[in-house]
Structure 1
Amino acid sequence: MDRGPPSLEPAAAAPGTSGRCVIAPVRAVLRLRRRVCVLRKRRLLQPGGGPDVGTGTPRPGCSSPAPRADTDQPQFFTFDGPAELSSRTPRKRRRRSRLVLYPETSRKFRPRVEHRSRAQRCLLLLVAIVGFQVLNAIENLDDNAQRYDLDGLEKTLQRSVFGQPAAVGRIVSLMRDYLATHVHSRPLLLALHGPSGVGKSHVGRLLARHFRAVLEDGALVLQYHARHHCPEARAAQDCREELARRVADVVVRAEAEEKTPLLVLDDAELMPRPLLDELHGFLQPQRPHHFHSAIYVLLSGAGGSEVTRFVLQNASRALPLRPDGARSAQAQTDEDLRARLQALLCREHPLWQAAAVVPFLLLDKRDVVSCFRDEMAGEGFFPDQARAERLAAQLSFYQVAGREFAVTGCKQVVATVNLL
């Protein structure tokens, strides 16, 4: 039996079988993709679903543009789903406020403008009172200093006292500081020391005359001469009682008139010790307050040998023919001399510890000539320079380093002029 040509069916069946094998997986993939798109669309259309990032509308299907990469990427460190993450709005960065925030439960009160503290008013009143007192005190200081005319006193001393510019300047300076006010805590004690004839007693007389004129009351100026008021034959205790009574009368009267009295005590080196003790008692703070406002001027020749020795040792420091150079040298050595005198006098009596020591130096020959001219003019003679020099040459002088210092100063000038 002839089987004829081979059949073609097996050949035709092979392609169909292979096509079904290929189409079935593709359909399965499409169904899965369609299913995934439906699930994704349902999830996005839920109430918590988010809009499209670009247009703000829900995605219509899988054919729409794919969402942003950040929505498909898994979120780390969170348990929120994509719907919760997409529904959150970005937080705004709050600006830090500099204002003070009060709790809502507390009450806020603003200070009233018209309300002022009484303490503030009292403080303003106190400041006004203090300012008025300060201005009044300044005016009182000026008035009190002008009452004594210290500028006129300084001019008088500079014109009448020769060869003592440092001593005159120190006396006026101490008085100016003390008389700047009327209320004091202690008296002013001036101790004028130097050899004989240098002008100590002359300064005392000028001070007494000036204060009598400016105070307009001679009872407020006391001049006490130890050689006259307390001679050697008189008991020292009686002199002490008399001095205490006279000083008390002067200071009490000056306190009633609100003035500062002047008490000049000459020849203090001749005073017995009880008198020095009484003077020392006047300076004590336990005394009544009217004893605190007074000026005591002690004129003493104690320490004159120390002044003479000091001047002769330092004579070469000053120029012989230049008054300005002599004054500058005196200004440099005055402090050292004052310290020496203070230490020397304190060994004799504690009174000198509270004193302002003013040393009077030896007089140069030209100062003695000036004394002669001044005395000649006062006696009615013509003050001839050559004649005054001839009279000065009759006196004794220390000759050191080309300079001449009078041994007795101007002590013999008056007696010499009276012989003319």
Structure 2
Amino acid sequence: MDRGQPSLEPAAPALGPSGPGVIAPVRAVLRLRRRVCVLRKRRLLPPGAGSEPGSGAAGPAQGSAAPRVGLGRPQVFTFDGPAELPARTPRRRRRRSRVVLYPETSRKYQPRAERQSRAQRFLLLLVAIVAFQVLNAIENLDDNALRYDLDGLEKALQRSVFGQPAAVRRIVALLRDYLATHVHSRPLLLALHGPSGVGKSHVGRLLARHFRAVLEDGALVLQYDARHHCPDPRAAQDCREELARRVADVVARAEAEEKTPLLVLDEVELLPPTLLDELLGFLQPQRSRHFHNAIYVLLSGAGGAEVTRFVLQNASRALPLRPDGARGARATAAQAEEELRASLRALLSREHPLWQAAAIVPLLLLDRRDVVSCFRDEMAGEGFFPEQARAERLAARLSYYRVAGREFAVTGCKQVVAQVNLL
């Protein structure tokens, strides 16, 4: 190209004074914007996720690993690197105790108090059941005793047996206790002791008559007299077999009818020792069950001398005991009769062990007033008018022990029947 000719190429645009100075800040702003966008995306990612691939963010911290930010812990954006950020320990949440809330309309019970209330209810129920059973048992006992009409028996004995109020009460009390139930572990053995004429045989006859009436079966009452059923002592073995057979028949029949039989044995002091052994065998627990449900009444004159001696020595102690006596005199007489029973048991036990198992009832001597009552009763029974003066004249013919201003009949009412027959 010649220098003289003008140039045909376009001329380069001239750069203004602000051209290169504006582009550099714009590029810095764009880089900062892209980095802020990347950091915002990483913050929204779950922990463990890597950085977004293909991101063209440039900068000094582009090649290093960015800190992982959890979703639960917000962090403030800084330009510090991950090594310069302090490590923060997570806070432990305190466990709050759960409070049991009860509705306002319901009753609040503690568990222990509720268990105690249930136990109290069961205890009250148990007490009620036991009380009902006891009451039912008492009613059954009364029903069983009413069958034998012991109140009527007591009135009959008090009306017909003179001078023996304490003995009558003891006999009825023993019968009442025994007849309260039908099931027993052993039979009842009553032993009536006293001298002649005090009313032993009379009491036995009254008992037999009463039980025949209430049991409505005469076969359930056995009366055995030593002089009549076993007059010969040499035939003791035969008498023993006969007595065992008769007693077995009576108790077996009574067991079938669910009743308590009565066996009255008079003049027991005349029985041979083999028959006493047989009577003792009836009381043994190894016997059959129907032998345990029976009442034996032994009438014996053994110990009559001891009774006579005791009454004469204690005549000043209000013997015999009367229901109309003073309270102090009655207590003294009761204590004296207890001593008499103890002395009789010790005396009779030396003769035979049968008396050791018996309930001993002593019949005391009769005074003159009781003998007069015997005469009046016998006179009325024979058809005579029971005049008091006449009865006293007849009583004056008998013999008496005179001690401490009192008179006790030697033979009791034994001769009353013979004297009345002479009228």
Distance 1:375 1:395 in 2: 16
Which secondary structure state, in structure 2, belongs to the residue aligned with residue 235 of structure 1? helix
Determine if contact 1:187/1:292 at 8 Å carries over to the other structure: yes
Task: Please say if 1:279 is aligned against 2:287.
Answer: no
Distance 1:246 1:126 in 2: 48
Which secondary structure state, in structure 2, belongs to the residue aligned with residue 363 of structure 1? coil
Deviations 1:100-145 (A, max 9, x none): xx9959x99x98xxx9xxx999999977765554333222101011
Task: Please say if 1:262 is aligned against 2:262.
Answer: yes
Q: 1:369 to 1:259 in 2, by over 3 A?
A: same
Task: Please say if 1:360 is aligned against 2:363.
Answer: yes
Distance 1:368 1:328 in 2: 25
Partner of 1:252: 252
One-letter amino acid matched to 2:402: Q
Determine if contact 1:166/1:330 at 8 Å carries over to the other structure: no
In the alignment, structure 2 segments of 5+ residues that lack a partner are: 1-94, 102-109
Partner of 1:54: none
Q: 1:124 to 1:236 in 2, by over 3 A?
A: same
Deviations 1:215-257 (A, max 9, x none): 1111111111111101125511111111111111111111111
Determine if contact 2:311/2:319 at 8 Å carries over to the other structure: no
Partner of 2:311: 311
One-letter amino acid matched to 2:367: D
Determine if contact 1:240/1:278 at 8 Å carries over to the other structure: yes
Which of the numbers 393, 408, 412 marks the counterpart of 1:409? 412
Distance 1:143 1:162 in 2: 31
Determine if contact 2:233/2:272 at 8 Å carries over to the other structure: no
1:131-150 → structure 2 map (5 Å cutoff) = 132-150=132-150
Determine if contact 1:221/1:262 at 8 Å carries over to the other structure: yes
Distance 1:404 1:103 in 2: 103
Distance 2:170 2:124 in 1: 43
One-letter amino acid matched to 1:380: G
Distance 2:126 2:257 in 1: 31
Determine if contact 2:319/2:333 at 8 Å carries over to the other structure: no
Which secondary structure state, in structure 2, belongs to the residue aligned with residue 358 of structure 1? strand
One-letter amino acid matched to 1:158: Q
Partner of 2:32: none
One-letter amino acid matched to 2:282: F
One-letter amino acid matched to 2:230: C
Shift of 1:375: 0.3
Partner of 1:69: none
Distance 2:190 2:341 in 1: 12
Distance 1:132 1:190 in 2: 34
Shift of 1:317: 2.3
Determine if contact 1:165/1:327 at 8 Å carries over to the other structure: no
Deviations 1:72-116 (A, max 9, x none): xxxxxxxxxxxxxxxxxxxxxxxxxxxxxx9959x99x98xxx9x
Q: 1:103 to 1:311 in 2, by over 3 A?
A: farther
TM-score with structure 2 setting the length: 0.69
| 4+ residue segments displaced more than 6 Å | 119-129
Determine if contact 1:166/1:327 at 8 Å carries over to the other structure: no
Task: Please say if 1:388 is aligned against 2:382.
Answer: no
Partner of 1:220: 220
Distance 2:333 2:368 in 1: 16
Task: Please say if 1:349 is aligned against 2:352.
Answer: yes
Distance 1:133 1:242 in 2: 44
Determine if contact 2:186/2:292 at 8 Å carries over to the other structure: yes
Shift of 1:297: 0.5
Shift of 1:362: 0.5
Name which of structure 1's ranges 275-284 and 134-143 shifts more when overlaid on structure 2: 134-143
Shift of 1:401: 1.1
Q: 1:341 to 1:125 in 2, by over 3 A?
A: same
Determine if contact 2:189/2:358 at 8 Å carries over to the other structure: yes
Q: 1:306 to 1:136 in 2, by over 3 A?
A: same
Q: 1:400 to 1:127 in 2, by over 3 A?
A: closer
TM-score with structure 1 setting the length: 0.69
- The share of aligned pairs that are identical, in percent, is 84
Which of the numbers 383, 387, 400 marks the counterpart of 1:397? 400
Q: 1:404 to 1:198 in 2, by over 3 A?
A: same
Q: 1:401 to 1:286 in 2, by over 3 A?
A: same
Determine if contact 2:311/2:364 at 8 Å carries over to the other structure: yes
Shift of 1:402: 1.2
RMSD: 3.2
Distance 1:128 1:344 in 2: 50
Shift of 1:337: 0.5
1:49-88 → structure 2 map (5 Å cutoff) = none
Q: 1:233 to 1:282 in 2, by over 3 A?
A: closer
Deviations 1:158-194 (A, max 9, x none): 1100000110010011111111111111111110000
Distance 2:234 2:319 in 1: 49
Name which of structure 1's ranges 131-140 and 352-361 shifts more when overlaid on structure 2: 131-140
Partner of 1:177: 177
One-letter amino acid matched to 2:339: D
Distance 1:332 1:138 in 2: 31
Deviations 1:232-284 (A, max 9, x none): 25511111111111111111111111111111010010010011001101111
Partner of 1:5: none
Distance 1:273 1:103 in 2: 95
Determine if contact 2:401/2:410 at 8 Å carries over to the other structure: yes
Shift of 1:207: 0.4
Distance 1:419 1:295 in 2: 39
